[in-house]
Amino acid sequence: MLARRLTATAAALIIGGAAWAQDQSIIVQSTTSTANSGLYDYLLPIFQGETGIQVNVVAVGTGQAIKNAENCDGDVLLVHAKPSEEKFVAAGFGTERTDLMYNDFVIVGPSADPAGVGGMNDVQGALAKIAGEGALFASRGDDSGTHKKEIALWNDSGVDPTAASGGWYRETGSGMGATLNAGIGMGAYVMTDRATWISFGNKQDYTIAVQGDEDMFNQYGVIPVNPAKCPSVNVDAAQTFAGWLVSDEGQDAIAAYKVADQQLFFPNAPEN
């Protein structure tokens, strides 16, 4: 079981150092927020310096990342849609799923706040007001973890936004950064993970309008791909990487990553 300290195997591999791992590499199928936020730019040099393992990140929406891993196009899956992750493991594609870190989702909007939702911490109520006012809302519409969560929140609010597709509800079919750019360009509300928003450069007059609802919790998980389904998996290197992420050192590194003096992700891997 992956836990806060490295397994004996993973620890031995790291102790072996770069001489063992210099020709080793893995592919991580990942959500875009961990890449766009700069987290990998911070974490991977630390890990690679200790192990010699080259980590290649494919950053796509969670739904696509899971499909890629099911097609054996990866060694490790790191995403943020727990029900889909659990299905991935139950179907035999992953060896085990471990909580890694969390942050939260927020809804950002223009300073004019046409739906009058600024300062709300009731996300379902805010979404119902946006729909009721017919205020523009830009959705990723891409089966990403963020999109999955957004749709679940709309369902809880009693609104089917897809009935207004092309009207006040605009689906970009794009990643988080592109959707934020599109939404800001059209004056629309956008739901985003907080880490991407903090790191995003084109905020213009936009601010966080809705935050603080416990339903906007955003959990990330890490899953080594199962070699029984995908024989090409680099098992040892994948387990080393996953083990390092949930180790005390990996968790401390995640906690230490900040942008504009703000912590973007909060580690919560289980203790031994």
DSSP string, 144-169: -HHHHHHHHHHHHHT--GGGGBTTTE
pLDDT, tens only, 79-109: 999 999 999 999 999 999 999 999 999 999 9
DSSP string, 215-244: GGEEEEEEEEBPTTT-TT--HHHHHHHHHH
Question: The pTM is what?
Answer: 0.88
CA–CA separation, 191 and 58 (whole Å): 23
Domain ranges of the chain: 8-102+218-267, 104-216
Query: 104-216: which CATH architecture?
Result: 3-Layer(aba) Sandwich (3.40)
Share of the chain above pLDDT 70, in %: 92
3-state secondary structure 17-50: CHHHHCCCEEEEEECHHHHHCCHHHHHHHHHHHH
Count CB-CB contacts under 10 A for residue 205.
10
**Which of the four pLDDT bands, split at 50, 70 and 90, describes residue 241?**
very high
- The answer, yes or no, to whether residue 20 has pLDDT greater than 90, is no
8-102+218-267 matches 104-216 in fold: yes
CA–CA separation, 184 and 196 (whole Å): 14
**Which of the four pLDDT bands, split at 50, 70 and 90, describes residue 23?**
low
- The answer, yes or no, to whether residue 167 has pLDDT greater than 70, is yes
∠ at Cα 59 (56, 65), nearest 5°? 100
What pLDDT, on a 0 to 100 scale, did the predictor assign at position 272? 64
CB-based contacts of 235, cutoff 8 Å, min separation 6: 224, 227
Greatest distance between any 2 Cα atoms in the chain: 62
**At the topology level of CATH, where does 8-102+218-267 sit?**
D-Maltodextrin-Binding Protein; domain 2 (3.40.190)
3-state secondary structure of 130: helix
pLDDT, tens only, 190-221: 999 999 999 999 999 999 999 999 999 999 99
